[in-house]
C-alpha cells in the first residue's frame, strides 16, 4: 500500500509541473496573439479606426477593433483545440511547432474563405501583417520556453522518472536511446528484466527485479512512468492486467515499438477492436510535399545569394591571399548515388590533397570518415571560416543547381560512399544538405555511428516544418562555433 501512496504522490507532482508549464505557454500565446493583432491594426490604420464592411445582405458593419478582439479569441481557441499545449508534447520534437503552424494556417485559411463567401471587405494589409508576425512570434515563444525546459531537464528538474520493463537486449536498446537524449526529460531509475552476470542493464541503470516482481519493483522505485520494451514473458492479458495496476497508481505506461528511428507523425493507431495496431507511413520523396521543399530551397538560396554577395566577395579575397583559388571543388555523392561537384571556400593549403596520405594514421575519425581536430593543412583564415561554417556558403549555388538541398544528410566523399552498407545507402533517397541534424547535434564532435543515425532519422522523417527548425538551430550553432574543426 505504501508503494501505491508514494506513486500517487509522484504522479501528482508530475501533473503540477505539467500544468504550470502549459499555463506559461497559454500566457505567452495570449500575449503574442494580442500583440500581433494590435500591430497589424496599427500598421494598417494607425491610431484611428475603420470599418469592415461585410455581410452585405444583412447590411452589417463591424469596427476593426471588434473584429480584432474576435480574431484574438478564435486564434487562441484554435491553438488550444489543436493540442499544441498537450502534456504529451512537452519538450519533444517538432510536433508542437507543427500544431501551432497548422492551427494558425487553418485559421487564416478559413478567414479567407469566409471573406470571399460573405463578401467581407477585409484589408489585405491587416492580414498580411497579423499572420506572419503572429506565427513567427508564436514559434519564438515556444522556442524560448522549450530552451528553458531543456536547461531545467539537464539539471534534473521537470523530468519523468521511468523504469524499463522487457527483455534485456530490447531494454538495453531502448534505454540507450533514452540516455542519448537528455532533452526527453526521462530519468531511468532502473530496469525490470532477466537477471544475468552483467547486473546493470546500462551504466547507471541497475536491474531492480525480475519479471515475477515487476509491479512491486516499479512501486518501490518511485517511478511515474514504465517503458515497456517488449517481452515474450508477458502475454497480452498479463500486460493488460499490469497496465490496470499501473493505472491505479497513476503511473503512465509507454510501449516502445520494435521499429526504431520512426517519428510520431508517421505512426498512426489503427482502430481495430481489441487489438491495438500501429500503422506506419512510408517516407515520401515525391509529390507536392517534395515540390514545396524544392521551391523553398530555390527561393531561399536565391535570396541568400543576393543578400550575401558582399560577404562572398570579402571572403573570396581573404582566402586568395595565399595565392590559391578561392573556391574548392570536390566530388561528392548526391541523391540516387549521382556524383556532383560540391563547392566550398578553400580552407586548406593549396597542396592539401597531396599531404593527406601522411595524416591518415592521425585521424580522429574512423575507417570510414577522416577527421582531425588540429589538421596542419588548415589555414588561419580557413580555421575561422570552418568555426562558423562560412566555408559552406558557396553550396547555395549547389542548392540552386539542384544538386543539394538546404537541409539534408551529409554529402559523402566517393571513398566513403563505397564503404556504405545497405542501411547507409538510404541516405541517397534525398538530396544532401548544407546543414542537417548532424550539424545541430554536435557537428564534428559526433561519432560516425551518431552521424549515420541522425542522417537516417532525417531521411525517414523529414518535413518542411522540421527543415525550418533545423535551419533555425543551425544559425545558433554557427554563431557559437561549437563542435567545428
What letters, b where the CB count within 10 A reaches 16 and e where it falls short, cover 84-98?
bbeeebbbbbbbbbb
What's the confidence (pLDDT) of residue 339? 93
Q: Which three cell numbers stand for residue 30?
A: 495570449
What's the confidence (pLDDT) of residue 310? 92
As a whole number of angstroms, the distance between CA 459 and CA 261 comes to 10
Compute the Cα dihedral for 355, 360, 361, 363 and give only its sign. Answer: positive
Neighbours of 323 (CB within 10 A): 6
Is residue 159 within 8 Å of 67, Cβ to Cβ?
Answer: no
As a whole number of angstroms, the distance between CA 350 and CA 343 comes to 15
Give me the residue spans of the domains in the chain: 2-154, 160-256, 288-480
Compute the Cα dihedral for 212, 214, 219, 221 and give only its sign. Answer: positive
3-class secondary-structure state, position 211: helix
Compute the Cα dihedral for 181, 387, 451, 473 and give only its sign. Answer: positive
Q: Which three cell numbers stand for residue 116?
A: 470571399
As a whole number of angstroms, the distance between CA 410 and CA 417 comes to 11
Which residues are CB-contacts of 414 (< 8 A; sequence separation ≥ 6)? 331, 332, 333, 339
3-class secondary-structure state, position 221: helix
Compute the Cα dihedral for 130, 136, 142, 144 and give only its sign. Answer: negative
Give the pLDDT of the chain (485 residues) as one tens digit per residue. Answer: 555 555 555 655 767 778 888 888 999 999 999 999 888 888 877 766 565 555 544 455 567 778 888 889 999 999 988 888 877 777 666 778 888 888 998 988 888 877 776 666 667 777 888 888 999 999 889 888 888 888 888 877 888 888 999 888 888 888 888 887 777 778 888 888 887 655 788 888 888 888 888 888 888 888 888 888 888 888 878 888 888 888 888 888 888 776 665 655 666 565 555 566 666 666 667 778 888 899 999 999 999 999 999 999 999 999 888 778 889 898 999 988 899 999 999 888 877 666 665 555 555 555 555 566 667 778 888 888 888 888 899 999 999 999 999 999 888 888 888 888 887 888 888 899 999 888 777 665 667 777 778 888 888 778 888 888 888 888 877 776 554 54
What's the confidence (pLDDT) of residue 282? 66
Is residue 221 within 8 Å of 187, Cβ to Cβ?
Answer: no
Cell numbers 560516425 correspond to what residue?
448
As a whole number of angstroms, the distance between CA 291 and CA 306 comes to 23
For domain 160-256, the CATH class is alpha beta
What's the confidence (pLDDT) of residue 256? 78
As a whole number of angstroms, the distance between CA 375 and CA 365 comes to 12
As a whole number of angstroms, the distance between CA 328 and CA 342 comes to 8
3-class secondary-structure state, position 242: helix
Q: What is the chain's Cα-based Rg?
A: 27
Q: Which three cell numbers stand for residue 446?
A: 559526433
As a whole number of angstroms, the distance between CA 75 and CA 81 comes to 10
Q: Write down the pTM of the prediction.
A: 0.66
Beta strands in 204-350 (DSSP E): 207-209, 225-230, 252-255, 267-270, 277-280, 327-333, 339-345
As a whole number of angstroms, the distance between CA 171 and CA 254 comes to 13
What's the confidence (pLDDT) of residue 61? 57
Q: Which three cell numbers stand for residue 271?
A: 482502430
Amino acid at each position: 500500500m505504501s508503494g501505491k501512496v508514494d506513486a500517487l504522490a509522484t504522479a501528482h507532482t508530475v501533473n503540477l509541473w505539467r500544468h504550470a508549464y502549459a499555463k506559461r505557454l497559454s500566457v505567452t500565446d495570449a500575449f503574442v496573439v494580442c500583440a500581433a493583432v494590435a500591430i497589424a491594426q496599427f500598421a494598417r490604420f494607425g491610431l484611428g479606426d475603420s470599418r469592415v464592411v461585410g455581410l452585405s445582405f444583412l447590411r452589417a458593419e463591424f469596427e476593426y477593433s471588434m473584429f480584432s478582439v474576435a480574431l484574438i479569441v478564435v486564434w487562441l481557441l484554435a491553438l488550444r483545440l489543436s493540442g499544441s499545449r498537450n502534456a504529451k508534447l512537452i519538450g519533444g520534437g517538432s510536433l508542437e511547432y507543427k500544431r501551432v503552424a497548422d492551427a494558425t494556417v487553418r485559421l487564416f485559411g478559413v478567414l479567407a474563405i469566409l471573406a470571399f463567401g460573405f463578401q467581407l471587405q477585409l484589408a489585405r494589409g491587416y492580414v498580411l501583417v497579423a499572420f506572419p508576425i503572429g506565427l513567427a512570434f508564436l514559434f519564438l515563444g515556444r522556442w524560448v520556453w522549450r530552451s528553458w525546459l531543456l536547461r531545467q531537464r539537464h539539471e534534473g528538474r521537470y523530468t519523468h522518472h521511468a523504469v524499463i520493463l522487457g527483455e534485456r537486449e530490447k531494454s538495453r536498446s531502448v534505454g540507450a536511446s533514452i540516455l542519448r537524449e537528455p532533452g526527453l526529460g526521462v530519468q531511468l531509475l532502473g530496469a525490470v528484466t532477466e537477471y544475468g552476470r552483467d547486473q546493470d542493464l546500462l551504466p547507471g541503470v541497475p536491474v531492480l527485479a525480475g519479471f515475477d516482481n515487476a509491479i512491486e519493483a516499479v512501486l518501490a522505485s518511485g517511478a511515474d512512468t514504465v517503458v515497456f520494451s517488449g517481452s515474450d514473458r508477458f502475454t497480452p492479458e498479463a500486460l493488460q492486467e499490469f497496465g490496470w495496476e499501473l493505472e491505479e497508481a497513476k503511473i503512465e505506461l509507454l510501449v516502445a515499438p520494435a521499429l526504431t528511428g520512426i517519428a510520431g507523425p508517421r505512426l498512426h493507431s489503427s482502430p481495430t477492436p481489441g487489438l491495438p495496431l500501429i500503422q506506419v507511413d512510408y517516407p515520401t520523396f515525391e509529390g507536392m510535399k517534395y515540390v514545396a521543399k524544392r521551391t523553398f530551397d530555390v527561393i531561399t538560396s536565391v535570396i541568400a545569394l543576393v543578400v550575401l554577395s558582399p560577404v562572398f566577395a570579402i571572403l573570396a579575397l581573404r582566402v586568395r591571399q595565399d595565392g590559391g583559388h578561392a573556391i574548392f571543388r570536390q566530388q561528392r555523392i548526391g541523391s540516387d548515388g549521382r556524383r556532383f561537384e560540391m563547392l566550398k571556400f578553400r580552407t586548406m593549403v593549396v597542396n592539401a590533397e597531396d599531404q593527406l596520405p601522411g595524416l591518415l594514421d592521425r585521424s580522429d575519425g574512423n575507417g570510414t570518415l577522416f577527421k582531425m581536430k588540429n589538421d596542419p593543412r588548415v589555414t588561419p583564415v580557413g580555421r575561422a571560416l570552418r568555426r562558423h561554417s562560412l566555408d559552406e556558403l558557396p553550396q547555395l549555388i549547389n542548392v540552386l543547381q539542384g544538386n543539394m538541398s538546404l537541409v539534408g544528410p551529409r554529402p559523402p566523399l566517393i571513398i566513403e560512399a563505397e564503404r556504405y552498407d545497405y542501411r547507409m545507402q538510404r541516405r541517397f533517397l534525398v538530396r544532401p544538405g548544407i546543414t542537417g541534424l548532424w550539424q545541430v547535434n554536435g557537428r564534428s564532435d559526433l561519432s560516425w555511428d551518431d552521424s549515420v543515425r541522425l542522417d537516417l532519422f532525417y531521411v525517414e522523417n523529414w518535413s518542411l516544418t522540421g527543415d525550418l527548425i533545423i535551419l533555425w538551430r543551425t544559425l545558433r550553432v554557427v554563431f557559437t562555433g561549437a563542435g567545428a574543426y
